[in-house]
C-alpha cells in the first residue's frame, strides 16, 4: 500500500490536464509576469523557475503572479507575497541583507583574506633572510683540504 502510494506520488505529481481560466495579460504586463516568474522557484521542481517549468504547481503559481500584476502590485510586493508563504526558499536569487550578506560577501571576503595572507608571507621572507643569510657562492675550501688533495695526488702517482 505504502509502496503503491509512493509510486503514484512520483508518477502523478505535476501531470495535470489543461484546466480552465488561463488568460494571459497584455504583452507588456505578460513580459513582467515572465520576468518575475524567472525569479521564483517552482515548488515541485528541482531548482527550476515557475516561468520555465511545465508542472501544474508552477502553472498555478504563475497565474498568481499574473493576478498580482493585474492588481497593480509592485515587484517587491509580489516577491513578499511568495516569501510569506514559501519562505526565502522560493527566491532563486536570495535577498541581499542579514545572513544572506555572507553569501554575497563571502567570496570577496575570502579573496581579501587570501590576498592578506600572501602579502603577509611575502613581507616575512626578507626578514628571515637577514637572520640567516643563504650562501651565494661556493665557499673556498679550507687550507687543510689543499694539503689532503696534494697528498692524494702524490699517492696516486706512485
Partner 1 sequence: MKKLLGPAIALAIIGLLVFVLFKAFGTDPHEVPFMLVGQPASNFKIKRLDTDELVTLDQFKGKPIVLNFWATWCGPCKMEHPVLEQAWRKYGNDAVFLGIVFEDNEQNTKRFLAENGYTFPQLFDPKSTVAVDYGVSGVPETYFITRDGVIQGKVIAPFVDIRQIEVRLKGLLQ
Task: Identify the burial level of 79 via C-beta atoms within 10 angstroms of its C-beta, where 0-12 means exposed, 13-18 middle and 19 or more buried.
Answer: buried
Does 123 engage in binding with partner 1 (CB under 8 A)? no
Task: Candidates 30, 52, 67, 93: give the one binding partner 1 (CB under 8 A).
Answer: 67
**CB-wise, 32 or 43, nearer to partner 1?**
43
Alpha helices in 51-158 (DSSP H): 56-70, 75-86, 101-131, 143-157
**9, 63 contact by CB (below 8 A):** no
End-to-end CA, the chain = 104
**CB-wise, 115 or 148, nearer to partner 1?**
115
Does 9 engage in binding with partner 1 (CB under 8 A)? yes
Distances (CA, A) of 41 to 60, 61, 90, 123: 12, 9, 5, 48
Task: Candidates 63, 73, 91, 92: give the one binding partner 1 (CB under 8 A).
Answer: 63
Does 113 engage in binding with partner 1 (CB under 8 A)? yes
Query: Residues interacting with partner 1, by CB under 8 A?
Result: 1, 5, 8-9, 11-13, 15-22, 43-44, 46, 56-57, 59-61, 63-64, 67, 83-87, 89, 102, 110, 113, 117, 120
Amino acid at each position: 500500500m505504502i509502496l503503491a502510494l509512493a509510486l503514484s506520488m512520483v508518477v502523478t505529481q505535476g501531470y495535470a490536464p489543461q484546466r480552465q481560466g488561463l488568460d494571459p495579460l497584455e504583452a507588456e504586463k505578460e513580459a513582467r509576469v515572465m520576468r518575475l516568474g524567472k525569479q521564483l522557484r517552482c515548488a515541485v521542481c528541482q531548482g527550476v523557475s515557475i516561468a520555465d517549468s511545465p508542472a501544474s504547481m508552477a502553472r498555478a503559481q504563475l497565474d498568481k503572479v499574473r493576478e498580482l500584476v493585474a492588481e497593480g502590485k509592485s515587484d517587491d510586493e509580489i516577491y513578499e507575497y511568495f516569501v510569506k508563504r514559501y519562505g526565502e526558499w522560493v527566491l532563486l536569487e536570495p535577498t541581499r541583507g542579514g545572513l544572506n550578506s555572507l553569501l554575497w560577501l563571502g567570496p570577496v571576503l575570502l579573496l581579501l583574506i587570501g590576498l592578506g595572507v600572501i602579502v603577509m608571507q611575502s613581507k616575512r621572507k626578507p626578514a628571515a633572510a637577514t637572520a640567516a643569510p643563504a650562501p651565494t657562492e661556493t665557499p673556498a675550501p679550507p687550507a687543510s683540504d689543499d694539503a689532503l688533495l696534494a697528498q692524494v695526488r702524490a699517492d696516486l702517482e706512485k
